[in-house]
Structure 1
Amino acid sequence: MIYTVTFNPALDYVVHMSKDLVPGITNRSDSEEIYFGGKGINVSTVLSELGLNSTALGFVAGFTGRAIEDGVNKSGINADFIHLPEGNSRINVKIKASDETEVNCQGPAIPKECLDMLFAKLDTLVNGDTLVLAGSIPSSLPDNIYEKILERLDKRGVNFVVDATRDLLLNVLKYHPFLIKPNKQELGEMFNVEIDTDDDIEKYAKKLQEKGARNVLISMAGEGSMLITEDGQRLRQGVCKGKVKNSVGAGDSMVAGFIAGYEKSKDYQVALNTGTAAGGATAFSDGLATAELIDKLYKTLI
């Protein structure tokens, strides 16, 4: 089974405007949409599109939390959220005008007893399961929460997928995550260097492997992506062609596509191509990727 963790889920309220957003006055939208957001939920949603079941773990609160839980369940994902005693799950506002503007809110506090409930759920994972940890840490949780989770599940045969930055990522490499996904800029920041060439990317990705990572997937925006595999392959893929509409969830979609591609084929090139197609499908859509568009884009990569 695949499990995703979203510490701070959100209702993403997407507002479309044909005119520029003008501060200080009343602006009017052309249309609005609501999505159930959070990096782990995004991964679960795209996995479902690709035919893979997953369980979405995390925390919800209040009436917005109930809406998130209902929406996730209705989308075919098994929502196994912990209900917090106070507050409301956050609403993030995404304004899509000539420029894209986001207001991401804080979300509710997570007390220790609720974190212990999450640990109890994670303790049920077994050999062969996959756990996806993605995104930032809410201020009410310890900074080393990723490290605590992987330490707790270490040596159980669980495949860890970690999409995080800098120390949050570096500190978990000793637990040998199956996949990590820094972008080119983050890779340079982790080693305080400028990354200019593909050889530079490979060099520093291999340094992450020396620290414990098994497979390193580096996204490079318009330059595509590179995968350095645990069996020594260097695989390179360009971007899909299309009109970019949306940047929200594209990285999460790439992670989901990679997982799905590898689960189905056990082939890293297939995994990279599926991840690339899924990321592109979200970038070219108003919401998250659909199976139809992923398949269409995948065929352009082979």
Structure 2
Amino acid sequence: MIYTVTFNPALDYVVKADHFTLGAVNRADWEGIYCGGKGLNVSTVLAALELGSTALGFVAGFTGHEILERVKNLGFRSDFIQVEKGMSRINVKIKSQEETELNGMGPEIATEDLEILFHKLDCLSSGDVLILSGSIPKTIDDDIYERIMARLRGREIRIVVDATKDLLINVLPYEPFLIKPNNHELGEMFHVTLTTIEEIIEYAKRLQEMGAQNVLISMAGDGAVLITDKKEVYRMGVPKGTVKNSVGAGDSMVAGFLAGYLENGNYEHALRLGSAAGSATAFTEGLAGRDEIMKLYEELSKEGYR
């Protein structure tokens, strides 16, 4: 079974305006509301690829209730913990000449709420996959990923971590199955500016030396590179398309990679499906569906994209 954890899920209120002026009254030309949060995005794309998962995390207030209602129609199981104080976030995303975001704070998560989550995670067993992704709310200590991985260590659970900077660096001694920083985040972790693919591969291998089993680096329009637990290096280009959306592309890549890997254990296939899923979401207004993903998968299979 696959489990995703979203500590701070949200309702994403997305608006488009042909012209947006700070300090003035602006009117939307289009609007939509989606369930937000990196773990929820992964679960949604996994469902599109016909792979089941259970989404864990915390919700609160009327916005939390709306999240619970909406995930019922997204094709995966949810087992969220309802907390008493605060409310789940509303994130406002304005798309105009530039993209502007204003993200809410989220609810207050108490110690007893975390204990409930730990109890749920204690039920995971050998062969399960756990995806930890996204930022940590202010009411939770930054070592929460480490505590979870330490608790599950030795139980043959594949753990995927999609986080940045210290959140990612600090979990490497626990040997996560997969990590997925982008090339800019990779440079930030080592306080360097990476300008060539050779440099990116070099520093990705350093993360592997620090404990990660597989390192997947997304590079936007330059594709992706994967260093496997067998020390193999795979590169993948990107298909042709117009970028319409930057939200959820990385999460889609994680979902596609896992779906491909769990299908047959082939890393090249996993990287291709992950790249197709990430690109498909980038080329659509929301998270991509199966048809869009598989169409791009076929494009990436053509000569010249490997």
TM-score normalised by length of structure 2: 0.97
Between the aligned partners of 2:290 and 2:56, the Cα distance in structure 1 is 23
Q: Which residue of 2 aligns with 1:121?
A: 120
| Structure 1 residue 211 displacement after superposition | 1.1
SS at match of 1:299: helix
**Matched residue count:** 301
Deviations 1:8-49 (A, max 9, x none): 0000011122x2111222211112111011000000000000
SS at match of 2:142: coil
Between the aligned partners of 2:240 and 2:102, the Cα distance in structure 1 is 29
Q: Which residue of 1 aligns with 2:75?
A: 76
Between the aligned partners of 1:127 and 1:200, the Cα distance in structure 2 is 36
SS at match of 2:72: helix
Q: Which residue of 2 aligns with 1:95?
A: 94
Between the aligned partners of 1:61 and 1:123, the Cα distance in structure 2 is 23
Q: What is the identity, as a one-letter code, of the residue corresponding to 2:162?
A: D
Instruction: Give yes or no for the alignment of 1:151 onto 2:150.
Output: yes
Between the aligned partners of 2:25 and 2:41, the Cα distance in structure 1 is 32
| Structure 1 residue 221 displacement after superposition | 1.5
SS at match of 2:14: strand
Deviations 1:51-98 (A, max 9, x none): 000000000001110110111122121110000012211110111112
Q: Which residue of 1 aligns with 2:198?
A: 199
| Structure 1 residue 238 displacement after superposition | 1.1
Between the aligned partners of 2:93 and 2:2, the Cα distance in structure 1 is 29
After TM superposition, the structure 1 stretch with the greater mean CA deviation from structure 2, 269-278 or 69-78, is 69-78
Between the aligned partners of 1:232 and 1:23, the Cα distance in structure 2 is 50
Between the aligned partners of 1:147 and 1:128, the Cα distance in structure 2 is 20
Q: Which residue of 2 aligns with 1:14?
A: 14
Between the aligned partners of 2:130 and 2:54, the Cα distance in structure 1 is 10
Equivalent residue runs for 1:58-73 within 5 Å: 58-73=57-72
Aligned-CA RMSD value: 0.9
Deviations 1:242-300 (A, max 9, x none): 01110001110011110011111210011101111101111011100111100111100
SS at match of 1:94: strand
Between the aligned partners of 2:203 and 2:184, the Cα distance in structure 1 is 12
Deviations 1:213-262 (A, max 9, x none): 00000111111110001111110011121011100011100111100111
Q: Which residue of 1 aligns with 2:299?
A: 300
SS at match of 2:273: helix
Between the aligned partners of 1:184 and 1:256, the Cα distance in structure 2 is 19
Between the aligned partners of 2:279 and 2:157, the Cα distance in structure 1 is 28
Instruction: Give yes or no for the alignment of 1:288 onto 2:287.
Output: yes
Q: In structure 2, do the counterparts of structure 1 residues 108 and 235 end up closer, same or farther at CA, with 3 Å as the change threshold?
A: same
| Structure 1 residue 2 displacement after superposition | 0.3
Q: Which residue of 1 aligns with 2:304?
A: none
Between the aligned partners of 2:109 and 2:273, the Cα distance in structure 1 is 35
Q: Which residue of 2 aligns with 1:165?
A: 164
Between the aligned partners of 1:150 and 1:194, the Cα distance in structure 2 is 30
Q: What is the identity, as a one-letter code, of the residue corresponding to 2:287?
A: L
After superposing on structure 2, the runs of 4+ consecutive aligned residues of structure 1 that deviate more than 3 Å are none
Between the aligned partners of 1:197 and 1:23, the Cα distance in structure 2 is 37
Between the aligned partners of 1:184 and 1:86, the Cα distance in structure 2 is 37
Instruction: Give yes or no for the alignment of 1:208 onto 2:180.
Output: no
Between the aligned partners of 2:84 and 2:23, the Cα distance in structure 1 is 37
Between the aligned partners of 1:203 and 1:5, the Cα distance in structure 2 is 30
TM-score normalised by length of structure 1: 0.98
